[in-house]
Every structure is written in C-alpha cells, then in structure tokens.
Amino acid sequence: MPTSVTLPLPAVGAAVAASPVTAAAGVATPLRCRPRRLVVTPAATASSSPSTSTSAVSSAPPSARHSRKHLAGRDGAPSKPTKPRVFFLDVNPLCFRGSQRSLSAFARWLALFFAHVSLRDPVVAVLDGEGGNEYRRRLLPSYKAHRARGAGTGADSRVVDVLRECNVPVVRVDGYEADDVVATLTQQVLQKGYRVVIASPDKDFKQLISDDVQLVMPIPEIGRWSFYTLRHYVAQYKCDPTADLSLRCFMGDEADGVPGIQHLVPGFGRKTAVKLLQKHGSLENLLNTAAIRTVGKDYAQDALTKHADYLRKNYEVLSLKRYEISILQ
C-alpha cells in the first residue's frame, strides 16, 4: 500500500511566513504554505552497478554543474530571487550520545535547530524504517553489525511524539533507511525548484552536495549546528562531490562497518584513488579500463583486477538508493 504524507512546501517564489503551524491527522502543515502530497511506493529503482559517468575527480574548482553562481547578474543587474529551502532532518543520529540512546541529546539538538538553523523554512523529519538495514546487510554482513536491528522502541516513540508536538511531519518507510528516503525526497524536491538542506552528521550525504544541496551538521565539540556546503567540500577533499561515492568505495566507512581496500592492499590509499579517478572518472570506468590494460603501478593494477567485485559491492552498499515517489499538487 502506498504511504501518503503531506509535506509543508511553500509555492516557489512565495515568501514563507514565520507563522504558527497547524496539525491535521498527525501531519503538520505551516500556515500560508502550499502543501504537497507525497505518495510513497516502497519499490526500489536504484541501479545495482556503479555509474559509468565520466565526471572526473578534479583538484580545480568544481565543474560547471556544481559551480557556484554569481550573486549578481551582468552589468550589475539584480540577482535572481533565491530559491526557497526545504530542510530534511535525519532524526536517528541525533537520538544518541555516544553509543547510548539519549532523548535529552535529541531534545537539545532539536531546540538548537529551531532556534538557530530553520527559523522560517519548512522541515520534514525522516526516520529509519523497520528492517531498513536488511538489504545492505544481505550484501555485506558487517554493515552496521554493531548496531541494534530495527527501528527500536521506547526512545523512538517518544521522539516521534516530540516531533509531532512541534508540528513537524514525520516520514518513515518500512524496509528503507532514512538515508535513502532523504535522497529520494531530495531528488524530487530539487525537480520542483527548491533548494535542500539536510540536517545530519552522516557523511553519506556528502555524495548529494551541489549548488542546491547543503548539509547542516551538529558539532558536539562546540555545541552548535554548522553548515557544510559545496565550497567546504572542495576545500576539504580537493575534488568534486560527484566523485565522493567512488572514493568512499576505496576508503570504506568504518562507522558503518564497510571496510576499505587498505586491509587488502595496504599501500592503496586516498592519494592513489584520487589520482586514478582524476584520469579515469568513475569507479566503473576505472575498473573496466583496468580489466583490459594497465592503468597504474603494479600494486594498484593488481588491486583493481583482483578486487573489482569487492569494490563494486562497496559501491552498492554505500550508494544512496532512490525509489518511486510522487509529489502531487
């Protein structure tokens, strides 16, 4: 059965008033905002193989597709109106202090979020669905193996209650992780002419960063949220976000239990991966080329030919999936 929720998205070009919100049937809609209805059909549509895109890792400024537009037009003409923003709140990581569930930690980050981050923009909260990890665990048993299975009880139900009391719509689709739901909604919202801000500490979302997609991350060391943009990504990694997923296939993700290639080939590090991707583009192009000719030093060539299936499995585990979803008037 499709799942329907109402998202509080303002009409493109309309001002969003900092007004109270009203709740109907447990779903919130800010006043003066034109709601959209989401029909969620739990049917995965993601490709099972790495992209064959030729976009390369670049140490130069981001490509035209990602480059930051000038704020003013030619000859000092006024800039175009800023697109309205939609925030997606990745709830689950905020419910922990260290490895322990903590409702107080969630309440603190939520209060800071509404006080300093999203003052006027619509917010949609997204949680992991029941059994959302199972697809990736079937591919890679070590995936989040140190975490409890399922969405959990107790703190989770109280968190949902708090969000609804704050008139924040809550989206949770059984069988899907919150990351995949956020990626799906982000794609659809961008097509409707909005900008997206993803509120999460999860680095998986860095593969979505662009001119119109930003992150805002909770920083425990300083006790506040901090925006992370395309400019920050390029400054930190010296490459374009389009290459983020391919790089992470080599580097792995220790927090999620996804090992990199270093434990198989100790000399194969980030520098080697960046150099190869600069020349060959995506992971799939690199692996296909390595299968027919030499692409690098002996140790790198040997790693790419012997461990191609391993890297492709990492790609499938680490890539954010999309599924069928419609935004209706």
Average pLDDT for residues 77-83, to the nearest whole number?
A: 63
The predicted pLDDT at position 181 comes to 94
Residue spans of the domains in the chain: they are 85-237, 241-318
Least confident residue range of 42-51, 206-215, 234-243, 302-311: 42-51
Instruction: Report the pLDDT averaged over residues 263-267.
Output: 91
Considering the chain, what percentage of its residues have pLDDT values greater than 70?
A: 71
What per-residue confidence (pLDDT) applies to 264? 93
Please answer whether residues 85 and 214 qualify as being in contact, where contact means their C-beta atoms are separated by less than 8 angstroms: no
Angle between helices 244-251 and 308-318 (to 10 degrees): 120
User: Is 70 exceeded by the pLDDT of residue 40?
Assistant: no
Q: How far apart are CA 285 and CA 62, in angstroms?
A: 20
Split at pLDDT 50, 70, 90, the class of 67 is very low
Spatial CB neighbours of 70, under 8 Å, sequence gap ≥ 6: 79
Question: Which of 28-37, 112-121, 147-156, 257-266 has the weakest average pLDDT?
Answer: 28-37
Question: What's the mean pLDDT when you consider all of the chain?
Answer: 78
Per CATH, the homologous superfamily of domain 241-318 is 5' to 3' exonuclease, C-terminal subdomain (1.10.150.20)
Please give the Cα distance from 106 to 92 (Å, whole number).
9
pLDDT for 122 equals: 94
> Which tens digit of pLDDT belongs to each residue from 162-180?
999 999 999 998 888 999 9
Does 106 score more than 90 pLDDT?
yes
Question: Any idea which architecture 85-237 has in CATH?
Answer: 3-Layer(aba) Sandwich (3.40)
Q: Check whether 202 has a pLDDT greater than 90.
A: yes
pLDDT-above-90 percentage for the chain: 52
Average pLDDT of the segment spanning 16-30: 33
Question: Residue 309, CB half-sphere, CA atoms under 13 Å: how many?
Answer: 3
* For residues 190-210, average pLDDT: 95
| pLDDT computed for residue 147 by the predictor | 67
Identify which has the larger pLDDT, 38 or 139.
Answer: 139
Looking at residue 55, its pLDDT comes to 35
